Structure 1
């Protein structure tokens, strides 16, 4: 069972780590809210047949439905809207660094909302070490940035998205651990798509969109690998690992993003990649060391 937990954990980190650059590609052709909404709509369409066939839809129309919808707003609609808008102005490396504050927020919120969750020295050290590692990874890129109003606004939006996602994961851990991962993902992608596309209709009317092969490829990749598969894996994982281990995911996926850039895009590899990557991996190990295997659900 523990091997399966590790496999799912690593797969989620890898897939989410690959999405930062894909989002940048899509934003060259599509307005941000429409892009995010279409991503979630496509993911919802892919998941719908499985949810209907497996009976997961019964949960969505029952007493749990409103809670799933609420978490869908906090997990999908709000943060993805904020992040896609922000990445028009914020370089992907800086965006990843800012979002890596996630473990700090999830540790604080878990202490408030989850009985039995404590701010142990290990959790605090994991958050601090991970964020420091991300800073080391991105240091060469951040030195070339110049401050601007849009950059400051985009940075604030990404930090806000990080806080909102942390709250969503805490709410899932407290109220929805008994809901199947398929039902959770299907319900929340539907809610996210509706909210994001409504926002796009209201705020992006008249903005041009180019449905080029690159844009369609980005949409397909993000819907399948960056949304449907990853969120099913995440909701399967949440009841089985400490909440701090969930908080370490953005630290790992940012390491993946930097590594893929070096391998696939031939970006320079220096001391910062080796040292920062080691710090991030150590932080993730520290956050997950108390994970306890659980029975299959």
Structure 2
């Protein structure tokens, strides 16, 4: 793995990690499902000019439309719905643990569906990364808020994202990851808006149009969601879904440190140990450290 791809995936981890904190803040101003629709529409608008890059608009190959629709369905529409419902129905501890299973399930699924090899390095990276996440979530005391239904929804959120990642890998055989990202957002955004209109009689709360919430909403939509998706899908194209998924273990760690910075949440020694384990797991599983030493 070269430095450019490594930096790209690290950027995704930071963008998505701080996005958790931003979305948590934005739910004070917008209902969760309404917020998902608003964010995806803004992201789709932001991404739209990219279909003309670099040589103007070109038709999408017919074979690519199936994977693109799969990304729209699994990575965006179903993932946003199950994530919003699941986080509200179970504890943050259980939610983090279930989402942390993503690298394991992605690696197993990719070895079957898209013939990505399951290596000892990847297995060790998954183990270290999951251990790091465990150190984070076992320090929380909200497990009593968990429900079986909520855990099931969060498991579904993780599984649909795995399915979407495999669709990205498949679609990249026919067209550029940027094209997949743009069209999947354009397809999914209207359906999320329609769902939001059905389930939310009120779309905004008091203070939603003040400068600070608007600034957070735009950064979350344009950079964490839109740009993050472009970088993520490009990474999957270059290094595969299973290797890319190992970076996701860094997301809760970044979210934790962002919460400490912006929300004044307290850090303890387990959190720093978790950071070390996740970094070791990503370095070992992706071969990033060895690649950087050779460069």
TM-score by length of 2: 0.87
Cα distance between partner residues in 2 of 1:192 and 1:98: 24
Q: 1:263 to 1:34 in 2, by over 3 A?
A: closer
Equivalence for 2:238: 240
Cα distance between partner residues in 2 of 1:30 and 1:60: 35
Cα distance between partner residues in 2 of 1:291 and 1:235: 22
Deviation at 1:291, TM superposition (A): 9.9
Q: Secondary structure at the match of 2:29?
A: coil
Equivalence for 2:277: 279
Equivalence for 1:136: 135
Q: Contact (CA 8 Å) 1:97, 1:254: kept in 2 or not?
A: no
Deviation at 1:138, TM superposition (A): 2.0
Deviation at 1:107, TM superposition (A): 1.1
Match 1:209 to one of 204, 215, 225: 204
Deviation at 1:267, TM superposition (A): 2.4
Cα distance between partner residues in 2 of 1:37 and 1:287: 35
Q: Contact (CA 8 Å) 1:18, 1:256: kept in 2 or not?
A: yes
Listed as ranges, the gaps of 5+ residues in structure 2 are none
Equivalence for 2:32: 32
Cα distance between partner residues in 2 of 1:7 and 1:52: 25
The worse-fitting range, judged by mean Cα deviation, of 42-51 and 121-130 is 121-130
Q: Contact (CA 8 Å) 1:133, 1:280: kept in 2 or not?
A: yes
Q: Please provide the CA RMSD for this pair.
A: 2.5
Cα distance between partner residues in 1 of 2:273 and 2:171: 39
Q: Contact (CA 8 Å) 2:31, 2:204: kept in 1 or not?
A: yes
Deviation at 1:70, TM superposition (A): 2.3
Q: Contact (CA 8 Å) 1:60, 1:187: kept in 2 or not?
A: no
Equivalence for 2:193: 197
Deviation at 1:114, TM superposition (A): 1.4
The worse-fitting range, judged by mean Cα deviation, of 251-260 and 171-180 is 171-180
How many residues are treated as equivalent by the alignment? 288
Equivalence for 1:122: 121
Deviation at 1:224, TM superposition (A): 1.0
1:133-156, CA deviations, whole angstroms, 9 ceiling, x for partnerless residues?
101012221x3432454xx43332
Q: Contact (CA 8 Å) 2:67, 2:167: kept in 1 or not?
A: no
Q: Secondary structure at the match of 2:88?
A: coil
Equivalence for 2:80: 80
Cα distance between partner residues in 1 of 2:289 and 2:157: 26
Equivalence for 1:113: 113
1:238-274, CA deviations, whole angstroms, 9 ceiling, x for partnerless residues?
1222433211122011111112222333322211012
What does 1:241-260 correspond to in 2, within 5 Å? 241-260=239-258
Deviation at 1:111, TM superposition (A): 1.8
Deviation at 1:58, TM superposition (A): 3.1
Equivalence for 2:70: 70
Listed as ranges, the gaps of 5+ residues in structure 1 are none
TM-score by length of 1: 0.87
